[in-house]
Chain A
């Protein structure tokens, strides 16, 4: 199984400041035949299901504000919130879909 880790566990960021979340996979999730990284990011708010933000490591889902961006390749990935808004508070998860079983990182809690 591919193990996903995230850092930090939590972070507090001032409104308008940048938040950076790191995700690492225990093996590469880059598929060489199509040069795509099988990595997604989700945001979860209390009492709600997760919401897809980013897939293919850097493709923003439709309707997701452009302050959210994803980067990285292979085993190391980053989710950046360029200017934190109050509504961005929540827990963020990375997920690999390179192989089954699909696995998630443990989550990073973002607070103001």
Chain B
């Protein structure tokens, strides 16, 4: 079955960068788009961007343009999300999630989440 396993929790200082990984298994890596969604403590869900692992097409939410970079490594079926110039408001749980190209961009499988703490 589809599984997304994310890297562990991170603690970063303001101004630093964080890179979170999402390793996919249980399906052909190029068959699903992968999205990044974050959730600040006690808050709602915020979509950050999407990557098409087969064609390397990437789209980011305007909110994160210039600060976020999503990449993929097809040899290890892993997608990475790097967020730079971290500020306190970036403290959140970051999730990767899949959607199928043939359907709409709803999220059928999710990673377990990665907690990013931003503190001086």
Task: List residues of A whose CB falls within 8 A of some B CB.
Answer: 36, 38, 40, 42, 49-52, 55-56, 61, 93, 95, 97, 100-107
Residues on B facing A (Cβ under 8 Å): 35, 44-47, 50, 59, 61-63, 95, 97, 99, 103-108, 110-113
Report chain B residues within 8 Å CB of A101.
Answer: 47, 61-63
Q: Whose C-beta in chain A lies nearest to the C-beta of B113?
A: A49
Q: Is the CB of B110 within 8 A of A104?
A: no
Q: Across the interface, which residues of B come within 8 angstroms of A61, CB to CB?
A: 108
Distance between B32 CB and nearest chain A CB, rounded to angstroms: 13
The answer to whether B44 and A104 have CB atoms under 8 Å apart is: yes
A50, A55, A100, A102: the one contacting B110 at CB < 8 Å is: A50
Q: How far is the CB of B39 from chain A (nearest CB, A)?
A: 9
Task: Give the one of A55, A56, A93, A106 with max B CB within 10 A.
Answer: A55
A52 and B99 alpha carbons, distance in the complex (Å): 11
List the B side residues contacting A38 at CB < 8 Å: 104
Q: Are A106 and B110 in contact (CB under 8 A)?
A: no
- A52→B44 contact, CB < 8 A: no
Inter-chain CA distance A103–B46, complex, in Å, is 7
> Taking A49-B111, A49-B113, A50-B110 as contacts, is the C-beta distance between A97 and B45 under 8 angstroms?
no
Chain A residues, Cβ within 8 Å of B62:
101
**Are A52 and B47 within 8 A (Cβ)?**
no
Known: A38-B104, A42-B45, A104-B45. 11 other contacts (CB 8 A): A36-B104, A40-B104, A40-B107, A95-B106, A97-B104, A97-B106, A100-B105, A101-B62, A102-B47, A104-B44, A105-B44
Contact A100 B108 (CB under 8 A): no
Q: Is the CB of A50 within 8 A of B104?
A: no
Residue of chain A at shortest CB distance from B110: A49
Q: Return the chain A residue nearest B96 by Cβ.
A: A49
